[in-house]
Amino acid sequence: MAEKSSIAESVGVPAGFDPHRVRGDFPILSRTVADGRPLAYLDNAATTQKPRAVLDALQEYYSSYNSNVHRAIHELGQEATEAYEDARGVCAGFINAPESACVVFTRGTTESINLVAYAWGRASICEGDQIIATEMEHHSNLVPWQILAKEKGANLLTVPVLEDGTLDLDVYESLLSPRVKLVAVTHMSNILGTINPLPRMISAAHAAGAKFLVDAAQSVPHFEIDVQNLDCDFLACSGHKMLGPTGIGILYARRELLEEMPPFMGGGEMIHKVTLEQSTWAEIPHKFEAGTPNIAGAIGLRAAVRYLQSIGMGAIRDHEESLTAYALQRLRSMPDIRILGDAPDRGGVLSFLMDDIHPHDIAQLVDREGVAIRAGHGCAQPLLRRFGTNAVSRASFCLYSTEEDIEQLCAALGKARDFFHHGNG
Q: Is 379 one of the catalytic residues?
A: yes
* DSSP 8-state assignment for residue 215: E
- Euclidean distance between the first and final Cα of the chain, in Å? 23
Are 272 and 282 contacting, i.e. CB atoms less than 8 angstroms apart? yes
Are 396 and 348 contacting, i.e. CB atoms less than 8 angstroms apart? yes
| Side-chain half-sphere CA neighbours of 90 within 13 A | 21
Q: Is the CA virtual torsion 174, 176, 177, 179 positive or negative?
A: positive
- Nearest alpha-carbon partner for 89 in 285, 332, 381, 319: 285
- Nearest alpha-carbon partner for 159 in 192, 121, 186: 186
Beta strands 211-215; 37-38: pairing state: unpaired
Are 392 and 384 contacting, i.e. CB atoms less than 8 angstroms apart? yes
Select which of 91, 102, 237, 379 is catalytic.
Answer: 379
- Rounded distance between C-alpha atoms, residue 51 and residue 24, angstroms: 9
Nearest 10 degrees: CA dihedral of 413, 414, 419, 423? 170
The DSSP annotation for 36-70 comes to TEEPEE-BTTT-----HHHHHHHHHHHHH----SS
Find the angle CA(108)-CA(113)-CA(116) to the nearest 5 degrees.
130
- Rounded distance between C-alpha atoms, residue 250 and residue 118, angstroms: 16
Are 391 and 377 contacting, i.e. CB atoms less than 8 angstroms apart? yes
- Rounded distance between C-alpha atoms, residue 216 and residue 88, angstroms: 17
Cis peptide before 14 (omega within 30 of 0): no
β partners of residue 234:
213, 253
Distances (CA, A) of 222 to 6, 8, 19, 44, 345: 26, 20, 14, 11, 13
Could you give the residue numbers annotated as active site? 379
